[in-house]
Amino acid sequence: MKHTSRIASIYKDLQQQMCRQLEKGDGKGLFQQLPWTKDIGSGLTCVMKNGDVIEKAGLNFSHVEGDFSDKMEALLGMKAARYSATGISSIIHPFNPFVPIIHMNVRFFELDNGVCWFGGGIDLTPHYIDESEAAWFHRSLKDICDQYNGDYYPDYKAWADNYFFIKHRNETRGVGGIFFDRVQPQDEGELDRLLNYTIDLAKAYPRIYNQIMDKKRNKPYEQSHKQWQAMRRGRYVEYNLVYDRGTKFGLESGGNIESILVSMPPMAQWEYSFEPSLESPEQHTLDLLKKEIDWIKKE
């Protein structure tokens, strides 16, 4: 379609830059390059396993096109005959329970009726919430957002709080970040500005995580911390399978199933009615899994 191929080329190159930066930050792990092709298009799934800090990471690129099905129409609430989409998505699960999970996605969607939009964001899911780290993370995102629009950070931070919410647990998935979807450019100039915004977010992703890895890669931990990490990973699985729109759309559009589910942690655990000790680090984390926390004020 009119814009998708150009943006796909940019995103594909950007994916490789991000892989190299994360490899350098980890210091050991390398991304395995796994191209795939299906009737609807193609992509490149990059997977790292058993690095120095990173236990499992997926960093995916895709460029797909196909018929706009009735189920897609119901999911997106609009009519069209054909669609095209491209994007980068990534998830990182670390070994160390004091290093957080991080997720990033930028994407562009275009319909043959002329409608197109961008979406994406970055969010952080600590197993143990570090308030100063959460504040620094949110400040980093706000600094990028403010270069484009002063309303982006407050609006997209609130959107993330509501989107990354596990309703059946009444808790947020982590400390949030920013999330936006279906942001439609009104002209070519705005399209390029929104494209540059998604590029800046994607470039910030490895830079942010490398700084966290450098700070916490050698932080000591015990088996009890690993057990808590496994249970928090279980919450991540619950969210992705029950609520995540990207997972639902990927399955509905006939995308590559291995790439869609690469976000799952290598190991997770569920324990019946687990309640941490009062005033424990685990309870402190649960107490902070709430919407509308002004993390930047905690700097």
What average pLDDT does the segment 188-210 reach? 98
Q: Give me the catalytic one of 63, 93, 103, 138.
A: 103
Q: How far is CA 109 from CA 75, 196, 249, 282, in A?
A: 14, 15, 12, 40
Residue 265 has pLDDT above 90, yes or no: yes
% of the chain beyond a pLDDT of 70: 98
DSSP states along 28-67: S--PEEEEEEETTEEEEEEEEES-SSEEEEEEEEEEEEEE
- Give residue 216's identity as a one-letter amino acid code: K
Taking the CB of residue 181, how many other CB atoms lie within 10 A of it?
Answer: 17
Outline where the chain has alpha helix (H): 4-26, 70-76, 131-146, 152-163, 188-216, 223-242, 245-252, 257-260, 281-287
What average pLDDT does the segment 58-77 reach? 84
What average pLDDT does the segment 112-141 reach? 96
What average pLDDT does the segment 106-125 reach? 95
What is the per-residue pLDDT for 74?
73
Alpha carbons within 13 angstroms on the beta-carbon side of residue 133 total 24
DSSP states along 175-195: SEEEEEEEE--SSHHHHHHHH
Residue 187 has pLDDT above 80, yes or no: yes
Burial of 174 (0-12, 13-18, 19+ CB in 10 A): buried
- Give residue 160's identity as a one-letter amino acid code: A
What is the per-residue pLDDT for 39?
85
What is the per-residue pLDDT for 118?
98
Residue 253 has pLDDT above 80, yes or no: no
Residue 58 has pLDDT above 70, yes or no: yes
What is the per-residue pLDDT for 1?
67
What average pLDDT does the segment 230-239 reach? 95
Read off the pLDDT band of 84 (50, 70, 90).
very high
Q: Which residue has the higher pLDDT, 254 or 177?
A: 177
What is the per-residue pLDDT for 9?
97
Alpha-carbon 199 to chain mean position: 14
Q: Is 138 a catalytic residue?
A: no
% of the chain beyond a pLDDT of 90: 82
Span of 28-37, 59-68, 94-103 with lowest mean pLDDT: 59-68
What is the per-residue pLDDT for 42?
93
Closest by Cα among 119, 204, 133, 221 to 174: 133
Q: Does residue 108 contact residue 85 with C-beta atoms inside 8 Å? A: yes
Residue 200 has pLDDT above 80, yes or no: yes
Taking the CB of residue 225, how many other CB atoms lie within 10 A of it?
Answer: 18
User: What are phi and psi for residue 165, nearest 5 degrees?
Assistant: -125, 125
- Domains in the chain (CATH in brackets) are 4-298 (3.40.1500.10)
Cβ contacts of residue 216 below 8 Å, gap of 6+?
96, 98, 99
Residue 251 has pLDDT above 80, yes or no: no
**pLDDT tens-place string over residues 9-45:** 999 999 999 999 999 999 999 999 999 998 889 999 9
pTM for this model (two decimals): 0.93
Taking each helix axis from N to C terminus, what angle separates 4-26 and 188-216, rounded to the nearest 10 degrees? 10
What average pLDDT does the segment 276-287 reach? 95
What is the per-residue pLDDT for 114?
87
What is the per-residue pLDDT for 81?
81
Read off the pLDDT band of 256 (50, 70, 90).
confident
Q: Which residue has the higher pLDDT, 68 or 193?
A: 193
What is the per-residue pLDDT for 260?
79
Q: How many residues does the chain have?
A: 299
Residue 167 has pLDDT above 70, yes or no: yes
Residue 255 has pLDDT above 70, yes or no: no
Residue 4 has pLDDT above 90, yes or no: yes
